Structure 1
Amino acid sequence: MERFGLGRVTEERVLGESAVKKYKKLIVLGKPGAGKTTFIKHLALQCNQEYSCPILFLFLLISSIFSESPNSPSILEYMGQLFSECGVNVEQIQELFVRKSVLVLLDGLDEVKNEHYERTLNEIRSLSRIYYDNYFIITCRIAAKEYSYNVFDKFTEVEVADFNAQQIDRFISQWFENKNFIKAEEVAKALKNNYRLSQLAVTPLLLTLICLVFEEKCNSPNNRSELYTEGIEILLSKWDAKRGIQREQVYQQLSLQRKKDLLSYIAFKTFKEKEFFFSQKEAKSYIKEYIQNLRSNADRDKEDIQLDSEAVLHVIEAQHGLLVERAKGVYSFSHLTFHEYFTAREINIRKRSEIEAFQELVNNLSDSYWREVFLLSAEMAQPDASLLFKIMKEKIDQILDNNEKLQNFLGYVHKKSFNSL
């Protein structure tokens, strides 16, 4: 909010573990890359190490995977499915809830598809009200969803705080510990002398990329898209240097640019369908499509291409950390921010005409799901993003032309502002 002249909103900081002790039901909000998932994984590890909360059993669930489970099970039924191979049934899990000894961690509420959202909210409402003496923690991006107050009326909202100056310095120091003290000093100095860069350093994900770029290149990107570009290139280059797998010949033929293009292709295909998670079959299909488009021999055997796609998926999953297997046969980008970055990149590399690509993007102008993609696309379009903004304005004008309520509201605002002069 500082850039809009409203100043920073500051509230007392509390330790995450202290908030969990104090409130049995929490919604943990945060910006992209703020560390929401890392926090609940840390909490799960703490509980496993006899953390002082009165918790005997915990369940860490990915919200979108649960919401898209076949046959739409309840959360209890879904837990039973997860632990059936261990000989644990629903009745036994239910007994744990009755004993008030369960911590339920639901990660990524904002990643649930719209068609599954109401059912997911209803399931959370039902379980948290029936077994109200257990612990429930939900993570969600700030303003990602307008969830109903009736669903979370007993939940307390907390927000993952930005890194402060001391935390940033400590992170940098630990990153370069036993590596290069001089570079740690250079990073700290660069942040102090570059306001835009220092604004990026307040989240763990972006500060990680800043350290990674400095470690390899000793430079300082000025915006997020530049930082992602340089950081991801380093990750992919290290992937190449360390892989040591020789049998995937089709993968060896992919240059750094082609690898980025492949990930961008997968990202765009899945993101526009609002698929944060996708099956192994879908992933291999997208890889196969990309490989086919590269082939000079159009008659190449389809089975051979399928084998290639399996090999490439295996290498991607195993060796670079950008695409990971979340559950058996279920894949996603390792962080939603990377999914959004590669989607924006696919739009901006302009294999189609620039106008066509931007028009397809602008069709999603009123959908908050695309917010980060718009912001990244505007940065990538620099130094001249005028065409994107022109198409956005035309779309906004079109929306206004078809909405009488918005026209009346803007007319009222104009009249009030004019009278106040």
Structure 2
Amino acid sequence: MPEEPTPKPDKQEEKSPWNEKLAELLIKAAIGGGAGTVITLLSSTELPRLALGAGIGGAATMVYAFVEPIAKRTNKGLGQAGDKTADAIGKKTEQVIATLTSAEDRYFTAQSQECKYCRTEGMAKVEGIFTPMLEKVYVPLELDRSAFRPGLMSDVAKSGRFDETDSDRLTRLDIWKLLAQTEKDLIYRRLVILAWGGYGKTTLLRHLAFTYGQNQQGSGLPRLVPILLLLRKYREELTQENPLSLPDLIAQKHIPNLPEGATLRMSPDWAKNILRRGDALVLVDGFDEVPKAQRPQVARWLNEQMRHYGKSTFILTSRPKAYQEQDQAMDTLELETILWVKDFQEKQRRQFVEQWYWCQEYYHHGKEDTPDIRREAQRSADELLAQIEARSELKDLAKNPLLLNMMATFHRRYPSAELPRRRVELYQEMCVLQLRDRPGARRLETILGYEEALVILQMLALEMMQQHDEQVSQEVILRRLTTYLTEQAETVSAADFLRHIEQVSELLVQREPEEYEFSHLSFQEYLAAKEIIRLKRESVLYQHFEDGWWKPTILLYAAQTNPTTLIRQAMQQGATDLAYTCWQDTTKRVNLNDAELEVLTQLTPTLQTSRYQTLEDLLKSGQWRDADQETYRLMITTVGKEEGQYFEPADLENFPCDDLRTLDQLWLRYSNGKWGFSVQKQIWQECGSPTEYSDGWEKFGDRVGWRKDDDWVDYDDLTFDLQKTRSGEFPREIRGSVLFSRAETCEL
């Protein structure tokens, strides 16, 4: 049957403002069917699109903006038919408005309350140290846009005008700059944020959820509905044969778990409607916390939800290895924009420490904020920062926000003590603080001595690593603890031990009912490494050289032992980057004896040869483009970063001369002296050694073939032909005045 023609509006209707016409429709729906009918109408008319165009988002906001003022006018007209009728209709409309706005506003409040405090994972409560509110100590993370597609980079980046000033300016981003672009460009609605443990990925998502929940996102940004989903909580639901859809997951799992969420009565299609309209900000935390075998299913589920609700914004966090090791196209997450969390810089360190110490003094003095209290907080902050800035190894640790938080906690607990020098020492001191000193300060009786309790936790940590567990049920953990306590001839019960560790040390925490995990995965990795040392079972690690899950544990193990055999085994299995990282960390230690150092020194040439073999093979066969990419990979991993990241100026200022010299010699040898860092350095010097963009830098670009006809050449348009190119054209992936200055220092 053909559709009936749409009636033409009468002249009066044509003159009515669009918001008045839609508001009157909403009133009729409210009178006829209540809140549920209004929601249905919101999803089936042009109202959401028009509202977004006017800068209005969310059902409650739309109801306020359109229904309430028009209801007053309509009720006035209806009053002519009788006051009782008008009053009844008015009350009905007001009830609908109150119901809708109350429910959605309560959701915003509940989601922000969930993220109110700065409960940093890995940081247990310590006597005399307070848990501050998140927004009092939060420091914006800088994100590295190095994985952006070339089309997203500015003209300066594409041109090759790439000194340290340009690089820093181009790559410095915070999440709000990206969210401001979501309406203009679809790629900003699909973000993945990568970082290793302790770099603040979860805290960033909590900050976003809190800020949107409090409607503090700032001008120019629409108010999105934040939905913070921790994958570790829902991975079992998402890997079932018929998993819940995203709207059902929100309605049945997410909302009831929020503070007072059980009392929230959202309309049945509330989640689906905000997702369809594009009003949702879906924050998905911890892809790496899903076991490797389950990640393909979770990736497929996420892809399906993102395709189905394409107007909403999705942000996913993960450790790098878990995200990068997706090797099947059908299981790869479809996220257009990949970002890395950058190291904490000096300015961020200072801001965090000063804010953190102010919070401690503020709470310690009963929430008083006086000049004396601020001076005391500043004095303590300055003392801590002075220690950090005076020692390079502490500055390395302070690049990680979690470790900086630990240093602040240690410093306040032991104000006259020297800070631990190395990562493993910091973890050790935090275990002492939480297992031994904390119960001592509170005069609590301990059921096991510090050393005995530590061994039990080490045994648990190692088994959790072997089972690829981050969380275990109460039943499983009690069974395991019973076994460990029996093996160690301890008479305390597993239940008592678990209760003691949870309530006193908080190295084990219960984030979900009857689900236990270490306060941070880093503690699990550290304790597992200590247990391998205690058992003298280094061979346990040999089968895990290519498994990203084990990499931190391997590095923590290598940092506490003489890892010569470990390095040799890694080299034999082709894990040269891991072997190199272990060797680098070991060379920074001061407690190896002469014989151990000599063994490592003898091993170094073999390690270097093995590590650079792929580059040499590519250069020998004339695969110049691939060799350029391999040069970048070798250099970025040399400074302890992952493929896809940019160099900070400090990375190149301190780049190891031996490695830079090896790279240069390989390029010189196979290009017959035409290419290499030393060639580029000499041309750079002849152009006046420019450190900023200038005529000298353009002259350098002309000399090495990076510019033609007064314009910079895109990377893909280079010749990659040894016979046709200019001297100094390659390597090209890493460039800039800092690198050439380092080549000077290293006497290339």
Q: TM-score range by the shorter chain?
A: 0.7 to 0.9
Q: What is the CA–CA distance in structure 2 between the aligned matches of 1:409 and 1:56, rounded to whole Å?
A: 48
Whether the aligned pair in 1 keeps the contact of 2:198 and 2:401 (CA below 8 Å) is yes
Q: 1:272 aligns with which of 455, 466, 480?
A: 466
Deviation at 1:191, TM superposition (A): 2.0
Q: What is the CA–CA distance in structure 2 between the aligned matches of 1:240 and 1:35, rounded to whole Å?
A: 28
Q: Read off the aligned partner of 1:196 and give its amino acid letter.
A: E
Could you tell me the TM-score, scaled by structure 2's length? 0.47
Deviation at 1:105, TM superposition (A): 1.2
Question: Which structure 2 residues correspond to residues 378-389 of structure 1 after superposition, within 5 A?
Answer: 378-381=558-561, 384-389=562-567
Question: Which structure 2 residues correspond to residues 224-373 of structure 1 after superposition, within 5 A?
Answer: 224-241=423-440, 252-295=446-489, 308-348=493-533, 350-351=534-535, 354=536, 357-373=537-553
In the TM superposition, what whole-angstrom CA distance separates every residue of 1:305-333 from its partner, at most 9, and x where no partner exists?
6xx32233233333433322222222222
- In the alignment, which residue of structure 2 is the partner of 1:44? 209
Q: Read off the aligned partner of 2:249 and give its amino acid letter.
A: Y
Whether the aligned pair in 1 keeps the contact of 2:280 and 2:312 (CA below 8 Å) is yes
Question: Which structure 2 residues correspond to residues 106-255 of structure 1 after superposition, within 5 A?
Answer: 106-146=284-324, 147=326, 151-177=332-358, 178=361, 182-215=379-412, 216=414, 218-241=417-440, 252-255=446-449
- In the alignment, which residue of structure 2 is the partner of 1:300? none
- In the alignment, which residue of structure 1 is the partner of 2:250? 79
Distance 1:90 1:377, change over 3 A: farther
Q: What is the CA–CA distance in structure 1 between the aligned matches of 2:228 and 2:379, rounded to whole Å?
A: 40
Deviation at 1:75, TM superposition (A): 4.3
Structure 2: gaps spanning 5 or more residues: 1-163, 182-187, 257-261, 362-375, 576-610, 622-665, 673-748
In the TM superposition, what whole-angstrom CA distance separates every residue of 1:74-94 from its partner, at most 9, and x where no partner exists?
342433431476666875432
Q: What is the CA–CA distance in structure 2 between the aligned matches of 1:345 and 1:67, rounded to whole Å?
A: 29
Name the SS for the 1:61 alignment partner. Answer: strand
Name the SS for the 2:544 alignment partner. Answer: coil
Name the SS for the 2:432 alignment partner. Answer: helix
Name the SS for the 1:275 alignment partner. Answer: coil
- In the alignment, which residue of structure 2 is the partner of 1:403? none
- In the alignment, which residue of structure 2 is the partner of 1:412? 617
Comparing 162-171 with 195-204, greater Cα deviation is found at: 162-171
Name the SS for the 1:145 alignment partner. Answer: helix
Q: Read off the aligned partner of 1:344 and give its amino acid letter.
A: A
Whether the aligned pair in 2 keeps the contact of 1:125 and 1:152 (CA below 8 Å) is yes
RMSD: 3.3
Q: What is the CA–CA distance in structure 2 between the aligned matches of 1:318 and 1:21, rounded to whole Å?
A: 43
Whether the aligned pair in 2 keeps the contact of 1:29 and 1:139 (CA below 8 Å) is yes
Q: What is the CA–CA distance in structure 1 between the aligned matches of 2:549 and 2:459, rounded to whole Å?
A: 19
Comparing 370-379 with 261-270, greater Cα deviation is found at: 261-270
Q: What is the CA–CA distance in structure 2 between the aligned matches of 1:375 and 1:113, rounded to whole Å?
A: 21
Name the SS for the 1:176 alignment partner. Answer: helix
Matched, 1:33 2:218: no
Matched, 1:60 2:228: yes
Whether the aligned pair in 2 keeps the contact of 1:74 and 1:123 (CA below 8 Å) is no
In the TM superposition, what whole-angstrom CA distance separates every residue of 1:174-207 from its partner, at most 9, and x where no partner exists?
3334366554333222222211211111121011
Distance 1:175 1:296, change over 3 A: closer
Q: What is the CA–CA distance in structure 2 between the aligned matches of 1:117 and 1:264, rounded to whole Å?
A: 27
Name the SS for the 1:219 alignment partner. Answer: coil
Q: What is the CA–CA distance in structure 2 between the aligned matches of 1:317 and 1:75, rounded to whole Å?
A: 35
In the TM superposition, what whole-angstrom CA distance separates every residue of 1:40-63 from its partner, at most 9, and x where no partner exists?
011111122124454453322222
Q: Which has the larger radius of gyration?
A: 2
Distance 1:89 1:327, change over 3 A: farther
Matched, 1:99 2:270: no
In the TM superposition, what whole-angstrom CA distance separates every residue of 1:364-399 from its partner, at most 9, and x where no partner exists?
111122111111111011xx33233344345449xx
Q: Read off the aligned partner of 1:41 and give its amino acid letter.
A: R
Could you tell me the TM-score, scaled by structure 1's length? 0.81
Q: What is the CA–CA distance in structure 2 between the aligned matches of 1:161 and 1:390, rounded to whole Å?
A: 32
Q: What is the CA–CA distance in structure 2 between the aligned matches of 1:44 and 1:389, rounded to whole Å?
A: 43
Name the SS for the 1:136 alignment partner. Answer: strand
Deviation at 1:133, TM superposition (A): 0.7
Deviation at 1:358, TM superposition (A): 0.6
Identity of aligned residues (%): 25
Whether the aligned pair in 2 keeps the contact of 1:55 and 1:102 (CA below 8 Å) is no
Deviation at 1:36, TM superposition (A): 0.5
Distance 1:169 1:56, change over 3 A: closer
Distance 1:239 1:190, change over 3 A: closer
Q: What is the CA–CA distance in structure 1 between the aligned matches of 2:444 and 2:423, rounded to whole Å?
A: 32
Whether the aligned pair in 2 keeps the contact of 1:64 and 1:113 (CA below 8 Å) is no
Matched, 1:376 2:556: yes
Distance 1:329 1:361, change over 3 A: same
Deviation at 1:238, TM superposition (A): 4.5
Q: What is the CA–CA distance in structure 2 between the aligned matches of 1:38 and 1:213, rounded to whole Å?
A: 21
Q: What is the CA–CA distance in structure 2 between the aligned matches of 1:419 and 1:47, rounded to whole Å?
A: 56
Whether the aligned pair in 2 keeps the contact of 1:105 and 1:137 (CA below 8 Å) is yes
Q: Read off the aligned partner of 1:99 and give its amino acid letter.
A: R
Whether the aligned pair in 2 keeps the contact of 1:239 and 1:319 (CA below 8 Å) is yes
Q: Read off the aligned partner of 1:387 and give its amino acid letter.
A: T
Comparing 13-22 with 198-207, greater Cα deviation is found at: 13-22
Whether the aligned pair in 2 keeps the contact of 1:210 and 1:231 (CA below 8 Å) is no
Q: Read off the aligned partner of 1:45 and give its amino acid letter.
A: F
Q: What is the CA–CA distance in structure 2 between the aligned matches of 1:160 and 1:218, rounded to whole Å?
A: 31
Q: What is the CA–CA distance in structure 1 between the aligned matches of 2:517 and 2:274, rounded to whole Å?
A: 31
Distance 1:331 1:152, change over 3 A: same
Deviation at 1:240, TM superposition (A): 1.0
Q: What is the CA–CA distance in structure 2 between the aligned matches of 1:341 and 1:75, rounded to whole Å?
A: 37
Deviation at 1:104, TM superposition (A): 1.4
Question: Which structure 2 residues correspond to residues 2-17 of structure 1 after superposition, within 5 A?
Answer: 10=168, 11-17=170-176
Name the SS for the 1:289 alignment partner. Answer: helix
Distance 1:96 1:17, change over 3 A: same
Q: Read off the aligned partner of 2:177 and give its amino acid letter.
A: S
